[in-house]
Amino acid sequence: MIQKGGEVLAEQRKTYYIWIPNGQISQSSTDSPWNFKIEATDDEIMQLREYFDYNYMIGEENFYRAHVPLKEYHHDHENDEQDLTLQNIYQLIYKLGDEESKQHIESMGILQVKRTDDGLRY
């Protein structure tokens, strides 16, 4: 929140363009490809960036773990964590997105609650 003369104003929202494959967040619609258009505050963008960074970190761990043949994907907590983080990303984009973004995410069915073998819900 921003204060001006004792009056509390809502934090200003800006337009951002999101590219899911590499976690790119841009204010330009022409500099790079994008999947979703959102309106967000600085704090909301920081949250989205944290989700993308965590997802990248988990993805690297999963890459190395994937070379261990004894652990199946559906019994792998790290893969469930990555799935959960992706769902958090899509939930935030859905919350902040324009109508086209919301319709696309709804059509994906990614926001439906699912259970994993290890008890996580995503």
Q: Is the model's pLDDT at 95 over the cut of 90?
A: yes
In 6-105, the DSSP E strands lie at 7-9, 14-19, 24-26, 36-40
Q: Is the model's pLDDT at 119 over the cut of 60?
A: no
Q: Is the model's pLDDT at 122 over the cut of 50?
A: no
When pLDDT is cut at 50, 70 and 90, the band that residue 92 belongs to is very high
Note the pLDDT of residue 67.
61
Structure tokens at 92: 């935030």
Beta bridge partners of 121: 115
The identity of residue 64, as a single letter, is Y
> pTM of the full predicted structure?
0.75
45 vs 116 pLDDT, higher one: 45
- Give the model confidence (pLDDT) of 18-34 as tens digits: 999 999 999 999 999 99
Distance CA 72, CA 81 (A): 15
